[in-house]
Structure 1
Amino acid sequence: MGTPEHASATLILLRHGLTAVTGSILAGRSPGIDLDERGRLQAEDTARRLAGLHLDAIVTSPLERCRRTAEPLAGALGLEPVVDERFSECDYGTWTGRTLEELKDEPEWPVVQQHPSAARFPGGESLAQVSARAVEAVRDWNARLAAASTTGHPRYLVCAHGDVIKAVAADALGMHLDLFQRIQVDPCSVTAVRYTAARPFLLRLNDVGATADGLAPPPQEEGRHGSGDAVVGGGAGAARP
């Protein structure tokens, strides 16, 4: 099984479902941002997709949109979700609650896009801090669940946020944080990593099920070349269903 910090485990990362502001406003840690009807349907559909899995634990960010997304699956599996603050959304500081369109004019925007390892949101966290706390939490849960597992290789789910999941996926791939904006994580998508004593294996990335969702350009990109900027916070994806 390896040392505790390299314990074997399979981690399923689930981004929260759509809210009324996903992809337009940087919600961050704003209170009271719940799933809208589309997000609730996404959460129920994801619960049906994953209900056949055995999970040793369901862990969630403390924010409401993640807790609501995890509820249908937790109910189907008879598990009580555990809140872990380390999987919370990035603290975007003074960017919180502002539209993504206006944020593009901020002097920090190019740094977030091109040099995220150096990006710190005014009055908030750096992306390096987000990555460090999320990866530390994953290693901690891997070791904790492996120690309690009868098989020695537990499987658990974490419901979190776009930038948090991108950071964990980048770490699993051995990518520098400056490359993590190349990763896309849509609402209610599944990303899975199998950890072993030797190395992690990325099993799934931005999996939205057996559909073509996300393969066409998003509506604002159709008919023209996009800017190439990543959507801070993760964006709305194909806005399913």
Structure 2
Amino acid sequence: MTTVILLRHGRTTANASGVLAGWTPGVQLDDAGQAQAQAVAQRLAPVPLAAVVSSPLERCRQTAGAVLADRDLELRTDDRLGEARYGDWTGRPLKQLAKEPLWKVVQQHPSAAVFPGPEGEGLAQTQARAVAAVRQWNAELGPDAVWLACSHGDVIKAVLADAFGLHLDQFQRIVVDPASISVVTYTETRPFVVRVNDTGGDVGALVPPKRRRRRRTADSDAVVGGGAGDGPA
């Protein structure tokens, strides 16, 4: 099983001012976002990570950099984990965008949404590239790896929708807050969504257990009856 921790970047100046940042260069964490990045880094400190892969945008590299502190790892970037390419919507206030006809499509039928302008892409394209990136990194890092991908809200929601087996038109039902972690474990036959929008839970369960000599059930089998969870024995 390969486990990916999907980390959304901390709050930015654009988030705080209600502007759609997209791929605008120079958008960085504000003071609250920097504090969020430090806090999530402390939470994840006990978890051994095989790799930390980030969107190339500054806000993600800042957040991922906090996680990398005191780890013998180099930050790796992947454009496919970058923000959705919002085209001509980039840099505009959300209040204005909510009046555009496309806004309803993004909200109600996002699989059909294609952002305007030569740099715009469809949300279906965003999902396809992000899911492909996650699965390629899974294959490269191996079946026992726990790794972290630092990305953006819509991108993480799209990856989670795929892992849930949901149509992209349902992805707006998923909430991914700044500096939250969502966790997906991938097996040979299916992914298991372990956490969504976790902003403060204990992460001890993400530490890989010691390998057993013999397994009674396949890693890809779901627990019948719900299981006992990860609480005290």
CA distance in 2, matches of 1:114, 1:31: 29
Structure index of larger Rg: 2
Output the amino acid matched with 1:164.
Answer: V
Aligned to 2:14: 21
CA distance in 1, matches of 2:51, 2:60: 15
Identity of aligned residues (%): 57
Which one is further off, 14-23 or 79-88?
14-23
CA distance in 2, matches of 1:113, 1:15: 20
Secondary structure of 1:25's partner?
A: coil
CA distances 1:118-162 after superposition (whole Å, capped 9, x unpaired): 00010201000000000000110010111xxxxx41110000000
Q: 1:207 Cα deviation (Å)?
A: 0.3
Superposed CA RMSD in Å reads 1.1
Question: What 5-or-longer segments of structure 1 have no aligned partner?
Answer: 1-7, 147-151, 212-241
Q: 1:92 Cα deviation (Å)?
A: 0.3
The alignment's TM-score, normalised by the length of structure 2, stands at: 0.84
Aligned to 1:207: 198
1:1-241 maps to which residues of 2 (within 5 A)? 8-22=1-15, 24-123=18-117, 124-146=120-142, 152-210=143-201
CA distance in 1, matches of 2:69, 2:29: 17
The alignment's TM-score, normalised by the length of structure 1, stands at: 0.81
Any conservation in 2 of the 1:47–1:76 contact (CA below 8 Å)?
A: no
Any conservation in 2 of the 1:135–1:171 contact (CA below 8 Å)?
A: yes
Secondary structure of 2:114's partner?
A: coil
Q: 1:76 Cα deviation (Å)?
A: 2.6
Residue-pair matches, total: 199
Q: 1:210 Cα deviation (Å)?
A: 4.3
Question: What 5-or-longer segments of structure 2 have no aligned partner?
Answer: 203-233
Instruction: Return structure 1 stretches of 4+ with deviation > 3 angstroms.
Output: none
CA distance in 1, matches of 2:70, 2:47: 10
The verdict on how the C-alpha distance between 1:33 and 1:142 changes in structure 2, with shifts beyond 3 A counting, is: same
Output the amino acid matched with 1:36.
Answer: D
